[in-house]
Chains A and B, each alone.
Chain A
Amino acid sequence: MDFRLTPKQKAVKEMSRRFAREVIAPRAEEFERTGEHPYDIVSQMADLGMMGIPFPKKYGGGDGDWVSMTLCIEELARVDMLPAVILDVTVTGAAHALYLFGTEEQKQRWLIPLIQGKTLGAMGLTEPDAGSDVSSIRTTAVLVGEQWRINGSKQFITNTGLKNNSIVIVAAKTRRESDGKEVICTIIVPTDSHGYKVGGKYEKLGMRATSNHELFFDDCRVPRDYLLGDISKGFSYHMSSLQAGRIAIGALSTGLAQACFDEAFTFIRKRIKGRQSLFVSQTIPFMLADIAMRIELSRNMYLKAAWLKDQGENHTMEAHFAKLYASETATRIATEVLQIFSPHGCLEEYPIARFFRGAKLNEIVEGTSEMQRLIIARELLK
């Protein structure tokens, strides 16, 4: 057993931390206020190779691993969740699926620009009538000659409606040619496809600058060979992306929780030094001790899941544990830290309000907490 990071993993962590502090931190409040996508920040992240950390050099990647990828996500989220989410969705939602299941041609065409950061990817799974219950999706794909015709809609899809969003990896129901059976397939839909439309932007509780939209497929046409992998395995491809996404949400939540701790620690240290309140000096340190302990546990959990993924070993339970524990823990910590800040925490002057609003998101995306529990319980009963 060895809990230490390798020099390469440490270097990724330090590079990410420095970038987050020097480049993202001064702008974080602005993103939240304006809701604008940070094109310039994303392009700098790409220059640093963040989009390609776990992918091979031959596709423009960094030949690194998922431990490094998730360390990077944690460090970004430690300053602001926005860049971490953009990175997570591109890497786990789009690039990961293309890398694992795409043909060489598909990789050359779409994976490389994603890894180089020239484009951003999205994953289109959720629909108005299908959230946690993925098998209820209504979007259909029918092969007419050499083209897929896609009809239906998706909602809440992250990284869409941006000028650099190249593709959406879309889940759709189709009939298998061989036996006419209904299956879920996965199709790569370029955003300039005929019949692809992006709906209006949502006004959200938090994470206001992530670019989420409703998507409409109105007889959307894409060539036959844009199908990803096996026609019958679309469901499992999306599940595979979600599994990687869960580890990333574990890392993201850990970063957010650490951000809350950092803010609380600085705030409290000042108050204790000034002896402003005996109450603060006697009770808050216990809260901080518990918070620090829970963050450590969240971090160990996502790192273990990422490490198992790197070893090519089964990590279903570990990914669910990390996602469920770290996200709920981060929300709890954000709530506690807001309490520590008391009225100050309600002011936009401190980042706590932004962290608090964003925290809840992680309990919902990549499968709600309820879905995590359901799947963990099913695994236990196997």
Chain B
Amino acid sequence: MDFHLSKEQEDIRKAAESFAEGEFNPDLISEWEREYRFPTAIWQKACELGFIGMHIPEEYGGQGLGIQENALVFEAFVARIRG
């Protein structure tokens, strides 16, 4: 039994948090909301940094990690939705 995140998972969580902190801001978020706009540029950047598709095998462009890592990224992003 082990309830701790691994070092790698902690790093992923921190990286996702700082990405969200740096990229999301209240003005931008209310703009997406108001104008029904998909944040293509930020999405692209998140893809390039490997945040999207954490659990997809590397041969398909993912990180080849697990659902836990994917969930950590999701949680970190959504926790910053207030910008």
How long is the Cα–Cα vector from A67 to B2 in the complex, in angstroms? 11
* Prevailing SS type, chain B contact patch: loop
- B45 CB to closest chain A CB (Å) equals 28
- Docked pose: A51 CA to B5 CA in angstroms: 32
Closest approach, in angstroms, between the C-beta of A69 and any C-beta of chain B? 13
Contact for B6 among A1, A5, A9, CB less than 8 A: A1
Cα of A34 to Cα of B5 in the assembled complex, Å: 49
B: which residues have CB within 8 A of A?
1-6, 9, 68
A-side residues, CB < 8 A to B, are 1-6, 9, 67, 303-304, 307-308
Q: Is the CB of A5 within 8 A of B3?
A: no
A6 touches B3 (CB 8 A): no
B22 to chain A, nearest CB (A): 27
Of chain B, the residue at the smallest CB distance from A6 is B1
Does A67 lie within 8 Å of B1, measured CB to CB?
Answer: yes
Residues of chain B lying within 8 A (CB to CB) of residue A9: 1
Q: How far is the CA of A67 from the CA of B1 in the complex (A)?
A: 9
21 A-B pairs within 8 Å (CB atoms) are namely: A1-B2, A1-B3, A1-B4, A1-B5, A1-B6, A1-B9, A1-B68, A2-B1, A2-B2, A3-B1, A4-B1, A5-B1, A6-B1, A9-B1, A67-B1, A303-B1, A304-B3, A307-B1, A307-B2, A307-B3, A308-B3
Given contacts A1-B68, A307-B2, A308-B3, 6 further A-B contacts (CB under 8 A): A1-B4, A1-B9, A2-B1, A3-B1, A5-B1, A307-B1
Alpha-carbon distance A67/B68, docked complex (angstroms): 23
- Chain B residues, CB < 8 A from A1: 2-6, 9, 68
Give the shortest distance, in Å, between B57 (CB) and chain A (any CB).
21
Bound-complex Cα distance A304 to B5 (A)? 13
The residue in chain B whose Cβ has the minimal distance to the Cβ of A305 is B3
A67, B9: Cα distance in complex, Å:
24
